[in-house]
Chains A and B, each alone.
Chain A
Protein backbone atom coordinates (compact mmCIF):
# COMPACT_ATOMS: atom_id res chain seq x y z
CA UNK A 1 0.00 0.00 0.00
CA UNK A 2 1.19 3.47 -0.87
CA UNK A 3 0.66 6.50 1.29
CA UNK A 4 -0.02 9.28 -1.23
CA UNK A 5 0.32 12.89 -0.21
CA UNK A 6 -2.77 14.54 -1.67
CA UNK A 7 -1.94 18.22 -2.30
CA UNK A 8 -5.25 19.23 -0.70
CA UNK A 9 -6.05 16.60 1.94
CA UNK A 10 -2.59 15.47 3.08
CA UNK A 11 -1.26 11.91 3.36
CA UNK A 12 -3.92 9.27 2.67
CA UNK A 13 -4.03 5.58 1.87
CA UNK A 14 -3.74 4.41 -1.74
CA UNK A 15 -7.24 2.83 -1.70
CA UNK A 16 -8.75 6.34 -1.63
CA UNK A 17 -7.12 7.19 -4.97
CA UNK A 18 -7.62 6.23 -8.58
CA UNK A 19 -4.67 6.08 -10.97
CA UNK A 20 -5.25 7.83 -14.30
CA UNK A 21 -2.24 6.41 -16.12
CA UNK A 22 0.60 8.20 -17.85
CA UNK A 23 0.72 11.99 -17.52
CA UNK A 24 1.71 14.69 -20.04
CA UNK A 25 0.05 13.23 -23.12
CA UNK A 26 -0.94 16.13 -25.36
CA UNK A 27 -4.08 15.61 -27.44
CA UNK A 28 -3.46 16.50 -31.13
CA UNK A 29 -6.83 18.37 -31.13
CA UNK A 30 -8.41 18.85 -34.59
CA UNK A 31 -5.08 18.41 -36.33
CA UNK A 32 -5.68 16.38 -39.49
CA UNK A 33 -2.12 16.49 -40.70
CA UNK A 34 -1.05 13.30 -38.95
CA UNK A 35 -1.67 9.78 -40.14
CA UNK A 36 -3.88 7.20 -38.46
CA UNK A 37 -0.80 5.32 -37.31
CA UNK A 38 0.59 8.47 -35.74
CA UNK A 39 -2.76 9.20 -34.07
CA UNK A 40 -2.75 5.64 -32.72
CA UNK A 41 0.53 6.46 -30.94
CA UNK A 42 -1.30 9.15 -29.02
CA UNK A 43 -4.43 7.10 -28.41
CA UNK A 44 -3.18 3.62 -27.55
CA UNK A 45 0.53 3.56 -26.74
CA UNK A 46 1.54 4.08 -23.14
CA UNK A 47 4.97 3.97 -21.59
CA UNK A 48 5.78 1.20 -19.11
CA UNK A 49 9.21 2.07 -17.77
CA UNK A 50 11.26 0.36 -15.11
CA UNK A 51 12.14 3.34 -12.97
CA UNK A 52 10.75 6.84 -12.66
CA UNK A 53 7.30 7.33 -14.20
CA UNK A 54 5.06 10.41 -14.35
CA UNK A 55 1.42 9.52 -13.60
CA UNK A 56 -1.93 11.22 -13.14
CA UNK A 57 -3.84 10.38 -9.95
CA UNK A 58 -7.21 11.40 -8.58
CA UNK A 59 -8.25 11.51 -4.92
CA UNK A 60 -11.53 9.81 -5.75
CA UNK A 61 -12.74 9.09 -2.20
CA UNK A 62 -11.55 12.44 -0.84
CA UNK A 63 -11.45 15.85 -2.49
CA UNK A 64 -11.96 14.32 -6.00
CA UNK A 65 -9.20 16.45 -7.52
CA UNK A 66 -6.61 15.38 -10.12
CA UNK A 67 -2.88 15.83 -9.68
CA UNK A 68 0.39 14.39 -11.01
CA UNK A 69 2.85 12.10 -9.30
CA UNK A 70 6.44 11.15 -10.13
CA UNK A 71 6.76 7.55 -8.92
CA UNK A 72 9.51 4.98 -9.18
CA UNK A 73 7.94 1.79 -10.54
CA UNK A 74 10.65 -0.37 -8.95
CA UNK A 75 10.73 0.95 -5.38
CA UNK A 76 7.27 2.63 -5.44
CA UNK A 77 8.93 5.70 -3.99
CA UNK A 78 6.98 8.88 -4.79
CA UNK A 79 9.57 11.58 -5.35
CA UNK A 80 7.18 14.41 -6.22
CA UNK A 81 3.51 15.39 -6.21
CA UNK A 82 2.70 18.35 -8.50
CA UNK A 83 -0.40 20.02 -9.97
CA UNK A 84 -2.11 19.21 -13.27
CA UNK A 85 -0.88 21.28 -16.18
CA UNK A 86 2.54 21.84 -14.61
CA UNK A 87 5.88 20.15 -15.09
CA UNK A 88 7.70 18.48 -12.20
CA UNK A 89 10.37 20.52 -10.41
CA UNK A 90 12.71 17.74 -9.32
CA UNK A 91 15.63 17.29 -11.69
CA UNK A 92 15.14 13.52 -12.11
CA UNK A 93 11.42 13.89 -12.85
CA UNK A 94 12.01 16.70 -15.32
CA UNK A 95 14.63 14.60 -17.09
CA UNK A 96 12.14 11.73 -17.28
CA UNK A 97 9.64 14.06 -18.93
CA UNK A 98 12.17 15.27 -21.49
CA UNK A 99 13.49 11.79 -22.25
CA UNK A 100 10.08 10.25 -22.98
CA UNK A 101 9.73 8.82 -26.51
CA UNK A 102 6.41 10.62 -26.68
CA UNK A 103 8.04 14.06 -26.95
CA UNK A 104 9.19 13.14 -30.49
CA UNK A 105 5.91 11.71 -31.78
CA UNK A 106 3.96 13.32 -34.60
CA UNK A 107 0.90 13.52 -32.34
CA UNK A 108 2.79 15.60 -29.77
CA UNK A 109 4.14 17.97 -32.44
CA UNK A 110 0.65 18.30 -33.96
CA UNK A 111 -0.72 19.23 -30.55
CA UNK A 112 1.97 21.91 -30.23
CA UNK A 113 1.12 23.32 -33.69
CA UNK A 114 -2.60 23.34 -32.89
CA UNK A 115 -1.98 25.18 -29.63
CA UNK A 116 0.06 27.85 -31.42
CA UNK A 117 -2.57 28.19 -34.12
CA UNK A 118 -5.32 28.62 -31.54
CA UNK A 119 -3.41 31.47 -29.90
CA UNK A 120 -2.71 33.48 -33.09
CA UNK A 121 -6.25 34.45 -34.30
CA UNK A 122 -7.21 35.54 -30.80
CA UNK A 123 -4.46 38.20 -30.83
CA UNK A 124 -4.82 39.39 -34.45
CA UNK A 125 -8.18 41.26 -34.21
CA UNK A 126 -6.82 43.55 -31.50
CA UNK A 127 -3.74 44.50 -33.53
CA UNK A 128 -5.30 44.75 -37.00
CA UNK A 129 -9.04 45.48 -36.87
CA UNK A 130 -9.25 45.53 -40.68
CA UNK A 131 -8.28 41.89 -40.85
CA UNK A 132 -10.69 40.81 -38.15
CA UNK A 133 -13.03 39.06 -40.56
CA UNK A 134 -10.29 36.96 -42.07
CA UNK A 135 -8.99 35.90 -38.69
CA UNK A 136 -12.49 34.99 -37.53
CA UNK A 137 -13.00 32.89 -40.63
CA UNK A 138 -9.88 30.90 -39.87
CA UNK A 139 -11.01 29.96 -36.36
CA UNK A 140 -14.79 30.22 -35.99
CA UNK A 141 -14.58 28.81 -32.46
CA UNK A 142 -12.61 31.82 -31.29
CA UNK A 143 -15.14 34.43 -32.43
CA UNK A 144 -16.96 36.65 -30.01
CA UNK A 145 -13.99 38.45 -28.43
CA UNK A 146 -14.56 42.13 -27.74
Chain B
Protein backbone atom coordinates (compact mmCIF):
# COMPACT_ATOMS: atom_id res chain seq x y z
CA UNK B 1 0.00 0.00 0.00
CA UNK B 2 2.86 2.33 0.83
CA UNK B 3 4.17 1.95 -2.73
CA UNK B 4 0.85 2.97 -4.14
CA UNK B 5 0.64 6.06 -1.97
CA UNK B 6 4.17 7.41 -2.19
CA UNK B 7 6.45 5.38 -4.44
CA UNK B 8 7.81 6.84 -7.66
CA UNK B 9 8.40 3.48 -9.31
CA UNK B 10 4.69 2.82 -9.08
CA UNK B 11 3.37 -0.06 -11.14
CA UNK B 12 0.78 1.23 -13.58
CA UNK B 13 -2.71 0.11 -12.70
CA UNK B 14 -5.27 -1.36 -15.03
CA UNK B 15 -5.60 0.65 -18.21
CA UNK B 16 -8.98 2.08 -19.20
CA UNK B 17 -9.66 -0.46 -21.92
CA UNK B 18 -7.77 -3.48 -20.56
CA UNK B 19 -9.51 -6.74 -21.26
CA UNK B 20 -11.55 -5.42 -24.18
CA UNK B 21 -10.93 -7.88 -26.99
CA UNK B 22 -12.83 -9.76 -29.64
CA UNK B 23 -14.26 -6.58 -31.12
CA UNK B 24 -12.75 -6.95 -34.56
CA UNK B 25 -14.98 -6.72 -37.59
CA UNK B 26 -13.73 -7.72 -41.05
CA UNK B 27 -14.17 -5.22 -43.86
CA UNK B 28 -17.42 -6.23 -45.64
CA UNK B 29 -15.83 -5.94 -49.06
CA UNK B 30 -12.94 -8.18 -47.99
CA UNK B 31 -10.44 -5.37 -48.49
CA UNK B 32 -8.25 -3.39 -46.12
CA UNK B 33 -9.49 -2.68 -42.59
CA UNK B 34 -10.85 0.86 -42.53
CA UNK B 35 -10.19 1.71 -38.87
CA UNK B 36 -7.57 0.46 -36.43
CA UNK B 37 -7.81 1.55 -32.80
CA UNK B 38 -5.14 1.14 -30.14
CA UNK B 39 -5.09 2.33 -26.56
CA UNK B 40 -1.98 4.36 -25.75
CA UNK B 41 -2.04 3.10 -22.18
CA UNK B 42 -0.59 5.09 -19.28
CA UNK B 43 0.94 7.88 -21.38
CA UNK B 44 1.72 10.74 -18.97
CA UNK B 45 -0.67 13.71 -19.03
CA UNK B 46 -0.19 16.96 -17.15
CA UNK B 47 -2.63 19.86 -17.38
CA UNK B 48 -0.77 23.16 -17.37
CA UNK B 49 -2.33 26.55 -16.67
CA UNK B 50 -0.21 29.66 -17.04
CA UNK B 51 0.78 32.50 -19.31
CA UNK B 52 3.83 33.12 -21.46
CA UNK B 53 5.84 33.89 -18.31
CA UNK B 54 6.32 30.17 -17.63
CA UNK B 55 7.38 29.38 -21.21
CA UNK B 56 11.10 29.11 -20.46
CA UNK B 57 10.70 26.57 -17.65
CA UNK B 58 8.31 24.48 -19.74
CA UNK B 59 10.76 24.60 -22.63
CA UNK B 60 13.64 23.52 -20.39
CA UNK B 61 11.73 20.40 -19.36
CA UNK B 62 10.02 19.48 -22.61
CA UNK B 63 11.66 21.27 -25.52
CA UNK B 64 8.16 22.35 -26.59
CA UNK B 65 6.80 25.85 -27.08
CA UNK B 66 4.39 27.16 -24.46
CA UNK B 67 1.79 28.23 -25.13
CA UNK B 68 1.47 26.48 -28.49
CA UNK B 69 -0.31 28.35 -31.29
CA UNK B 70 -4.12 28.20 -31.09
CA UNK B 71 -5.46 24.77 -32.07
CA UNK B 72 -1.94 23.41 -32.57
CA UNK B 73 0.37 20.87 -30.91
CA UNK B 74 3.99 21.65 -30.15
CA UNK B 75 6.17 18.51 -30.15
CA UNK B 76 9.71 17.52 -29.23
CA UNK B 77 10.53 13.81 -29.27
CA UNK B 78 8.15 11.92 -26.98
CA UNK B 79 6.79 15.10 -25.36
CA UNK B 80 3.93 17.12 -26.76
CA UNK B 81 2.04 20.18 -25.62
CA UNK B 82 -1.56 20.29 -26.79
CA UNK B 83 -3.33 23.68 -26.90
CA UNK B 84 -6.53 23.63 -24.84
CA UNK B 85 -7.23 27.34 -24.33
CA UNK B 86 -5.63 30.78 -24.12
CA UNK B 87 -3.83 29.92 -20.84
CA UNK B 88 -4.25 26.17 -20.73
CA UNK B 89 -2.44 23.24 -22.32
CA UNK B 90 -2.06 19.48 -21.93
CA UNK B 91 1.45 18.11 -21.69
CA UNK B 92 1.88 14.53 -22.91
CA UNK B 93 5.01 12.68 -21.78
CA UNK B 94 6.47 9.18 -21.58
CA UNK B 95 4.46 6.70 -19.48
CA UNK B 96 5.58 6.74 -15.87
CA UNK B 97 7.44 10.06 -16.14
CA UNK B 98 4.54 12.35 -15.29
CA UNK B 99 5.00 12.45 -11.49
CA UNK B 100 8.66 13.28 -11.75
CA UNK B 101 8.12 15.83 -14.51
CA UNK B 102 5.29 17.56 -12.68
CA UNK B 103 7.37 17.81 -9.54
CA UNK B 104 10.35 19.33 -11.42
CA UNK B 105 8.19 21.86 -13.26
CA UNK B 106 6.46 22.86 -10.02
CA UNK B 107 9.78 23.25 -8.23
CA UNK B 108 11.21 25.48 -10.97
CA UNK B 109 8.06 27.62 -11.02
CA UNK B 110 7.73 27.96 -7.25
CA UNK B 111 6.27 31.33 -6.33
CA UNK B 112 4.89 32.00 -9.79
CA UNK B 113 1.24 32.03 -10.81
CA UNK B 114 0.65 28.72 -12.56
CA UNK B 115 -0.91 25.29 -12.09
CA UNK B 116 0.44 21.89 -13.12
CA UNK B 117 -1.94 19.02 -12.44
CA UNK B 118 -1.32 15.33 -13.05
CA UNK B 119 -4.37 14.12 -15.01
CA UNK B 120 -2.83 10.90 -16.33
CA UNK B 121 -5.52 8.59 -14.99
CA UNK B 122 -8.40 10.95 -15.72
CA UNK B 123 -7.92 10.75 -19.47
CA UNK B 124 -7.59 7.91 -21.96
CA UNK B 125 -5.67 8.25 -25.22
CA UNK B 126 -6.73 6.24 -28.25
CA UNK B 127 -4.71 6.04 -31.43
CA UNK B 128 -7.14 5.79 -34.33
CA UNK B 129 -5.81 5.23 -37.82
CA UNK B 130 -6.64 3.68 -41.16
CA UNK B 131 -7.76 4.70 -44.63
CA UNK B 132 -11.32 5.49 -43.46
CA UNK B 133 -10.53 7.19 -40.14
CA UNK B 134 -11.75 10.63 -41.26
CA UNK B 135 -15.02 9.17 -42.59
CA UNK B 136 -15.64 7.38 -39.27
CA UNK B 137 -14.90 10.43 -37.11
CA UNK B 138 -17.04 12.64 -39.33
CA UNK B 139 -20.08 10.53 -38.40
CA UNK B 140 -19.96 11.79 -34.84
CA UNK B 141 -18.39 15.22 -34.91
CA UNK B 142 -19.10 18.50 -36.64
CA UNK B 143 -15.48 19.53 -37.25
CA UNK B 144 -14.32 20.03 -40.80
CA UNK B 145 -12.01 16.98 -41.03
CA UNK B 146 -10.86 17.54 -44.60
CA UNK B 147 -7.06 16.99 -44.69
CA UNK B 148 -6.64 20.56 -45.97
CA UNK B 149 -8.52 21.96 -42.97
CA UNK B 150 -7.38 19.61 -40.21
CA UNK B 151 -3.85 18.42 -40.96
CA UNK B 152 -0.97 16.96 -38.94
CA UNK B 153 -0.08 19.01 -35.86
CA UNK B 154 -3.57 20.44 -35.41
CA UNK B 155 -5.79 19.71 -32.45
CA UNK B 156 -9.36 20.51 -31.43
CA UNK B 157 -11.59 19.98 -28.44
CA UNK B 158 -15.03 18.99 -29.56
CA UNK B 159 -17.76 16.42 -29.06
CA UNK B 160 -17.63 12.98 -30.69
CA UNK B 161 -21.03 11.31 -30.49
CA UNK B 162 -21.89 13.51 -27.46
CA UNK B 163 -18.66 12.61 -25.62
CA UNK B 164 -16.17 15.41 -25.02
CA UNK B 165 -12.89 14.61 -26.78
CA UNK B 166 -9.66 16.25 -27.83
CA UNK B 167 -8.72 15.24 -31.37
CA UNK B 168 -5.10 15.52 -32.48
CA UNK B 169 -4.07 14.89 -36.08
CA UNK B 170 -0.65 13.23 -36.06
CA UNK B 171 -0.59 12.15 -39.69
CA UNK B 172 -2.73 12.17 -42.83
CA UNK B 173 -4.77 9.17 -41.63
CA UNK B 174 -3.79 8.94 -37.99
CA UNK B 175 -5.30 10.70 -34.98
CA UNK B 176 -4.98 10.68 -31.23
CA UNK B 177 -8.32 10.79 -29.48
CA UNK B 178 -8.25 11.91 -25.84
CA UNK B 179 -11.42 11.22 -23.87
CA UNK B 180 -12.28 10.85 -20.20
CA UNK B 181 -11.35 7.44 -18.80
CA UNK B 182 -14.97 6.85 -17.82
CA UNK B 183 -16.02 7.56 -21.42
CA UNK B 184 -13.39 5.25 -22.97
CA UNK B 185 -15.57 2.10 -23.23
CA UNK B 186 -18.43 4.14 -24.72
CA UNK B 187 -16.12 5.85 -27.22
CA UNK B 188 -14.61 2.51 -28.24
CA UNK B 189 -18.05 0.93 -28.69
CA UNK B 190 -19.19 3.89 -30.75
CA UNK B 191 -16.07 3.73 -32.96
CA UNK B 192 -16.68 0.03 -33.57
CA UNK B 193 -20.30 0.65 -34.53
CA UNK B 194 -19.42 3.58 -36.77
CA UNK B 195 -16.71 1.54 -38.50
CA UNK B 196 -18.83 -1.55 -39.28
CA UNK B 197 -19.03 -0.64 -42.96
CA UNK B 198 -15.24 -0.15 -43.22
CA UNK B 199 -13.88 -2.95 -41.00
CA UNK B 200 -12.58 -2.49 -37.44
CA UNK B 201 -9.60 -3.74 -35.44
CA UNK B 202 -8.92 -3.02 -31.76
CA UNK B 203 -5.44 -3.76 -30.51
CA UNK B 204 -5.74 -3.51 -26.71
Contacts and interface: CB of A to CB of B under 8 A. Distances in A.
A70 B142 CA distance: 23
Interface of A is mostly: loop
B28 interface: no
Q: Could you say which interface size class chain B belongs to? A: 10 to 19
Given A61-B164, A63-B86, A65-B86, A16 B159 contact: yes
A63 B85 contact: yes
Interface in B83-112: 84-86, 88
A61 B160 CA distance: 10
Contacts, number: 33
A16 B86 contact: no
A8 interface: yes
Interface residues of A, number: 12
Interface string A38-68: 0000000000000000000000011111000
Interface in B46-94: 70-71, 84-86, 88
Interface in A22-40: none
Interface string A77-120: 00000000000000000000000000000000000000000000
A-B interface, 5 closest residue pairs, ranked by CB to CB distance from nearest = A13-B142, A63-B85, A62-B157, A61-B159, A61-B164
